[in-house]
Chains A and B, each alone.
Chain A
Amino acid sequence: MTELTKLTIAEAREKLAAKAFTATELTEAYLSAIDTANEKLNAYVAVTHDKARAMAKASDERIAKGEAGALEGIPLGIKDLFATEDVHTQASSHILDGFKPKYESTVTANLWADGAVMLGKLNMDEFAMGSSNETSYYGPVINPWRAEGSNADLVPGGSSGGSAAAVSALLCAGATATDTGGSIRQPAAFTGTVGIKPTYGRCSRWGTVAFASSLDQAGPIARDVRDAAILLKSMASVDEKDTTSVDLPVPDYEAAIGQSIKGMKIGIPREYRLDGMPEEIEALWKQGIDWMRDAGAEIVDISLPHTKYALPAYYIVAPAEASSNLARYDGVRYGLRVPGKDIADMYEQTRAAGFGREVKRRIMIGTYVLSAGYYDAYYLKAQKVRTLIKRDFEQVFDQGVDAILTPATPSAAFGIADQEMASDPVKMYLNDIFTVTVNMAGLPGIAVPAGLDAKGLPLGLQLIGKPFEEETLFRTAHVIEQAAGRFAPNKWW
C-alpha cells in the first residue's frame, strides 16, 4: 500500500479514474503512513481517521456513479489555521483549546466540493507566527530532510511547517497552507516541495484564522508544480463573505504547465543580492537564471529600490493587524479560560497562559506601533513604505517584465532550537527577507525546489508574478522543475 502514497495528485487522479485502486485504499495508505510517522515528525496535530474514511467512501461512490470531482478521492492535509467543521481548529495555539467550529472555511469547502478527502489538521507556528514551526503549542515539526551523515533534527520552516513536512514525507497528497510573509514559500524551500502564495484576494480568507488580514493568503504546498496548479484551481474562488476576495474567473492553471517561456522577460532584482549571502544560494540563483535563458527567456536586470525597507515595514504592519485580530481570544466565548478575580484578571490570566512567547511578542509590538503618539512614526510610515514597494514592482512590470526570479530563502533548513535564532528574533525574521516583499505588494509568488546544498539539503528559487497571473508562475516554475528534477528526503522515520 505504501506505493500508493508515492503518487502525485495528477497520477492518483488518473488511476482512481481508471479504477486501478479505490479512494478508500488510497486514504488508508496515507492514514497508515501518518500513524507510523507522525510521532517522529509531528506534522499533524489531529488525524481525522473516521472522517477521512467516510469521505473516501463517498468519493468511491461518486467515482462509481461517474460523478467524480476535480480532486475526487485525493487525501489532503489541512493547516490548522483553516476552520474545519467539528474538527480541531486551534491555529496550533493553547488559547483555542478544544475549539471545534460549526463552520467550514471557504477554501476547504471548495476542496471538499471537488471531492478531496481530509486526513487531518497540520501543525504550524502558533497563529502562523514563525519561520521554523517551533512556536506551535503542539511542539515543533521535524523536517523529513537531514543533512548528509547527520541525525540532527532540522526545522521544516514556518509557519506552514506541518504542511511542508507532511507533503515532503508523503503523509498527504497535498496540503493547504497560508502565507503572510513567506509561510508557504519558505517551508516549501526547506523541504523540497512546491508552494505558491497566490495574489491577495485570489483565495477567500473566510473561515481562516486571521493573522494579518491585509497580508494573509491561502495557497497549496505540493510535490510538484502540476499538483500545486491542480490544488490552487480548487482552492481559489471569489467569496461574497470576504469582500477582499476578487471576482475574476479562476483559470485552468494546469493548462499553463509545459507552455513555452520563450520570449518571456525574467527580471533579476539587484537588491536581492545580499551581503554575506551564502555562495550556494548565489550559485543556485545563477543556475536558475541559466535555465530560464536556456528555455528561451530574456533575462533583464531590474531594480526594486525599496526592498531593504520591506522587512522592517512588514514587522510593523503584520504585528499591528495581529494585535487587533487576536483581541477576540479573551476567554469569554470559546477556547481557553483561566478564571480570575475579575474580568481584567481573567483576560490577563487567560492570555498569559494561552499565547506563546512569539505571539505575545508580536501583540506587544503591534500594540506599541498603533499607540497614540507612535502611530504616525511606525504604522503610517510602514504603510507608505508598502505603497512604495508596490510601486517598485508596478514599474518593473510596466517595463515588460513577466516574472521576477529570486532565491526563496537566504539559507537551507537550520537546526531545531538553533541558538542564534532563539536568542535574536530578528535573525529568525530574516528568513522572510526574499518573500515578504511579495505579501507587502499583494503579488503571487511560487517557491520551487532547484537543487541541494553541500549538505544535501534542498534549496528553492522563487518566482514573482503580476497580480492574478499565477499561470506565468506555473509555466516558469515548471521550467525550473524540469531542469532541476525533483527532490525527496531519505526515509529515516
Chain B
Amino acid sequence: MTLIDTRTPDPKRFISGATGDWEIIVGMEIHAQVTSEAKLFSGASTTFGAAPNANVSLVDAAMPGMLPVINEVCVKQAIRTGLGLKAQINLRSVFDRKNYFYPDLPQGYQISQFKQPIVGEGKVTVSVGPAKDGSFEEIEVGIERLHLEQDAGKSMHDQHPTMSYVDLNRSGVALMEIVSKPDIRSADEAKAFLTKLRTILRYLGTCDGNMDEGSMRADVNVSVRRPGGEFGTRCEIKNVNSVRFVGQAIESEARRQIAILEDGGSIDQETRLFDPAKGETRSMRSKEEAHDYRYFPDPDLVPLEFDQAYVDALAADLTELPDEKKARFIEAFGLSEYDASVLIAEKATADFFEKVAKGRDGKAAANWVINDLLGALNKAGQGIDETPVSADQLGAIIDLIKNGTISGKIAKDLFEIVFTEGGDPVAIVDERGMKQVTDTGAIEKAVDEVIASNPEKVEQAKAKPTLAGWFVGQVMKATGGKANPQAVNALVKEKLGIDD
C-alpha cells in the first residue's frame, strides 16, 4: 500500500531523545474472531473452552479430499463490520491460499483474502483523552481493508518431554483481519483506537472482543522519525493481547528504535514479540527469514459475490453505532461529552442508561448510572450485565427524589440497600420510614426544639445569618434526614428572624 501521511506533527505527542524530538508512527492489524456458531469453512463448533480437538471436522483436520464451504454467517458479519467502519464493501472478493508449513496448520495453507478483500477502505473516529483539563481530542484513523481468513490451531509444547501436541479446535475459526493505515502517532492513540474498534465490534455483535480469550489480538507496526520527516523502517510486534500491552509495546519499541538511531545505527525490518514480564520487545524473525507465502486464488472456492441489495439489507438492520449514539445522547439528554463517552463505551451500559432515562431527566439518570451504579459495580468487580440494580429499580429511586418522597441524601442510602439487598425501592422507603417529612407541623416542632435547646447559637445567628445552616443541619439530623431541606431552611430563617 502507498503510505500517505494524514496527520500534522503535533509537539505534544513527540518523545524527546538525546538528540531531539521523535515522532512515533503506528499502524495496526487486528485479528478479530468472528462471532458465529460454526467455523469459516466447516460446520464445526466455535465454542471456547472445549476439550482439545473436540471441535474438529474432517475439513479442519485437512483430511484427503476435503473441501471448504463458506459459512454465510461469517460473510454477513464481515459486511456488518465493514459498514460499522464506514468502509467500502466489495461485492466480489476472492479467497487465496497462504502457503506455509506448521503442525497447527493442517492444510499446509491458510485460506485468506489477499488481493481482493471483502472490505476496502474505511475510517474510525477515535476520541483521545481526557487531557488534564478534561478535554478530548478527536482523531481519525483510516482503515486500509478488512478480510476474512481462517485461524490456525494451537501447538502445545509443554505436554510431553520431546513431542508437541496440537489442538485443532481453533483451526478454521473465522477471523477478520482489520488493517489500519499508519495514522496513529502515540501509544495512547493506539490504545484508544483499539478500544474504540473493540467497542464498535461489540456493538455490531461481530466479535466479542475478549482479548484474554484470544478473540482479539493485535499486530502493531511501529516506526519512528524526526517530526514530519520521512517514514522510518518499521518493526511488526506480533500478537499483542491486551490494550495495556499495546501501549507498553509501542512505548518500549519506540524507545528501542530511538536509542539505535541516536547511536548512529539503523533499524532492521523484522518481526518482534512483546514480553509483558520484561516490558520489552524481542526479535522473532528478520526480513530475510520471512516466508514466501506463495499466495494464489484457492481453486476450491468460487469468488465470493453478492449484490448491493444484500449489503443494503444488512445496513438497514445495523445497530446504532457508538459515535451516533454519543451524538444522540448529547443532543437528546443534554449530556456532557465526557458523560456520553462513558455511557456509550459499552452497549449494555448505554442501553441501561436509556431505560433509566426514559421519561426522566437525562442528566440525573446519567449521574446515577455513572457515579453510583458504575462506581458500585466497579467496586464490586462486576460488569453492567451483572448489575443487582435494574434500570427499573434505579428509575424508581430517581422518581422518589423527583416527587419529593425522599431527599437526595436518603436516595444514596436507598441505592445502597437496593444494591446489596435488592427489593422494590418504593416499598423499602415505606417499610423503613425513609420518607421525607414534608408535614410543616412536624418540621416546625423539630425546629422549635433545636432553637429552644441552643439559645447561645440563636444569639450568634442573629449577628451572623450564615449560622442558619447549622440549625438546618441539626434539624435534619434530628429528623434522620427525612425532613424536606427547603422547608427546614425556610422555617429556620423565619424563626430566627433572618431575611432571605
Contact = CB atoms under 8 A, between A and B. Distances in A.
Contacts of A209: 64-65
Contacts of B440: none
Nearest to B43: A241
State the main secondary structure of chain A at its contact with B. loop
A324 B105 CA distance: 13
Contacts of A241: 67, 69
Nearest to A204: B67
15 contacts: A83-B64, A103-B63, A205-B65, A206-B65, A207-B65, A242-B67, A243-B67, A243-B69, A244-B299, A323-B294, A333-B62, A371-B294, A372-B294, A375-B294, A379-B296
Given A332-B166, A371-B292, 6 more contacts: A205-B65, A205-B67, A207-B66, A208-B65, A327-B99, A375-B296
Interface stretch (A166-174, A210-218, A286-294, A307-315): A210-218
A355 B296 CA distance: 23
A101 B63 contact: yes
B299 A214 contact: yes
B302 interface: yes
Nearest to B104: A332
Interface residues of B, number: 29
B65 A343 contact: no
A241 B109 CA distance: 20
Interface of A: 82-83, 89, 91, 96, 99, 101-103, 105, 205-210, 212-214, 240-244, 320-321, 323-324, 326-328, 330, 332-334, 343-344, 347, 367, 370-372, 375, 379
Given A243-B301, A370-B294, A379-B296, A334 B67 contact: no
Contacts of B65: 82-83, 101, 105, 205-210
A324 B106 contact: no
Interface of B: 58, 61-70, 97, 99, 101, 103, 106-109, 164, 166, 292, 294-296, 299-302
Nearest to B101: A347
Contacts, number: 98
A96 B62 CA distance: 13
B170 to A, nearest CB: 16
B69 A324 contact: no
Contacts of B294: 323-324, 367, 370-372, 375
Q: Which of B69, B103, B108, B164 has the most CB of A within 10 A?
A: B108
B66 A206 contact: yes
A332 B103 contact: yes
Contacts of B109: 324, 327
A244 B166 contact: no
A323 B99 CA distance: 9
A249 B454 CA distance: 103
Nearest to B168: A333
A173 B69 CA distance: 34
A390 to B, nearest CB: 15
A323 B295 CA distance: 12
Given A243-B69, A327-B99, A370 B64 contact: no
A235 to B, nearest CB: 15
Contacts of A89: 64
Contacts of A328: 62, 64, 106-108
A43 to B, nearest CB: 22
A358 to B, nearest CB: 18
Contacts of B68: 243
